[in-house]
Amino acid sequence: MTIGCGLCVAFFKDVDLYQLFKTQKPIIGVVHLLPLPTSPRWGGSLKAVIDRAEQEATALASGGVNGIIVENFFDAPFPKNQVDPAVVSAMTVVVQRIQNLVTLPIGINVLRNDAKSAMAIASCVRAQFIRVNVLSGAMATDQGLIEGEAHHLLRYRRELGSDIKIFADVLVKHARPLSSPNLTVAVQDTIERGLADAVILSGWATGSPPNLEDLELASQAAAGTPVFIGSGASWENIATLMQAADGAIVSSSLKRQGRREQPIDPIRVSQFVDAARRSWNSKGDSKSVSSISIQS
């Protein structure tokens, strides 16, 4: 028995970045949520979490980013796999509040590697994509050994009847692979065996950029699947890094004084976006500028 070619085409089709983000070179800003219920530094007020998340999402949208990822960044130290149900509930509420303010594609990242909860949240709030730190393979981290569970996640997405895209890190930051870190093989396995819709390449830690040579190697190995810069992008280096990438996920350099514990600074967002657009416009990328709106 053979599988119909229509199903094959749908299953292996690359992500259309322009359809998803209204640009061929999307900038995705990150909202780092304040500590959530059950985390060690939880402050006891979900309203405070929501207020800051709304301010940061509005700053990102007004500054011109093309998408937003919401993640429980300040919940560290993280569980390596499943988070508490209170975290899932809180993130769902926060994302819904953000969606009432901005009309941008939204992604979910549940740290450290709770991809199933991210998929569940995204399905309920009709988000567009999720970020998964370890989709396939095994990484030694400060949370212990994290093993990818692509087989569970892809089946869960099918059970939900969802088309949410999976953006997966390759050789993720704050971690070391158990086997030899062959970037080409890791990218190919993440796409071909893990069925990632896009891959993310970061530096060694938060705020550290990947080098241009690694981005070029990853882009070549991805063979048309989008490659995103996952950390360390700034207004000074974005023009160089985007020579070999299809998009950037950015947070630390958009914050006040570039400090990760500070809130998003709308002036730094505009500065970053302007630097990126000048670079793309100089290359004649007519689709790089998108229209962003904030709901009243």
SS3 for 178?
coil
Q: Is residue 57 part of a domain?
A: yes
61-70, 199-208, 269-278, 282-291: range with highest mean pLDDT: 61-70
pLDDT, position 144? 84
Q: What separation in angstroms does the CA of 135 have from each of 45, 152, 210?
A: 33, 10, 19
Helix ranges (H only) for the chain are 5-12, 17-21, 46-63, 85-99, 115-125, 150-160, 183-192, 212-222, 238-241, 266-282
Q: Is residue 71 part of a domain?
A: yes
Q: Is residue 19 part of a domain?
A: no
Taking residues 214-236, report their average pLDDT: 95
Out of 82-96, 197-211, 232-246, least confident range: 197-211
Taking residues 20-31, report their average pLDDT: 96
Look at the chain and report how many structural domains it folds into.
1
Distance between CA atoms of residues 56 and 68, nearest Å: 10
Q: Is residue 1 part of a domain?
A: no
Note if the pTM is more than 0.85: yes
pLDDT, position 11? 44
Residue with the larger pLDDT of the pair 2 and 28: 28
Q: Is residue 93 part of a domain?
A: yes
| Residue 56's pLDDT band (cuts 50, 70, 90) | very high
Distance between CA atoms of residues 179 and 159, nearest Å: 32
pLDDT, position 23? 94
| Residue 289's pLDDT band (cuts 50, 70, 90) | very low
Residues in CB range of 254: below 8 A, 6 or more apart? 29, 60, 63, 264, 265, 268, 269, 272
- What is the span of the domain harbouring residue 142? 24-281
pLDDT, position 283? 59
Q: Is residue 8 part of a domain?
A: no
Q: Is residue 250 part of a domain?
A: yes
E strand or H helix that includes residue 29: strand 27-32
pLDDT, position 173? 66
| Residue 205's pLDDT band (cuts 50, 70, 90) | low
Beta strands across the sheet bearing 138-141: 144-147, 138-141, 175-177
Out of 10-19, 138-147, 174-183, 243-252, least confident range: 10-19
Out of 184-198, 243-257, 281-295, least confident range: 281-295
Q: What is the CATH number of the domain that holds 39?
A: 3.20.20.70
Is 46 a residue whose pLDDT tops 90? yes
Distance between CA atoms of residues 154 and 283, nearest Å: 37
Q: Is residue 141 part of a domain?
A: yes
Is 83 a residue whose pLDDT tops 60? yes
Residues in CB range of 12: below 8 A, 6 or more apart? none
| Residue 180's pLDDT band (cuts 50, 70, 90) | low
CB atoms within 10 A of CB 285: 15
Taking residues 52-76, report their average pLDDT: 97
| Residue 165's pLDDT band (cuts 50, 70, 90) | very high
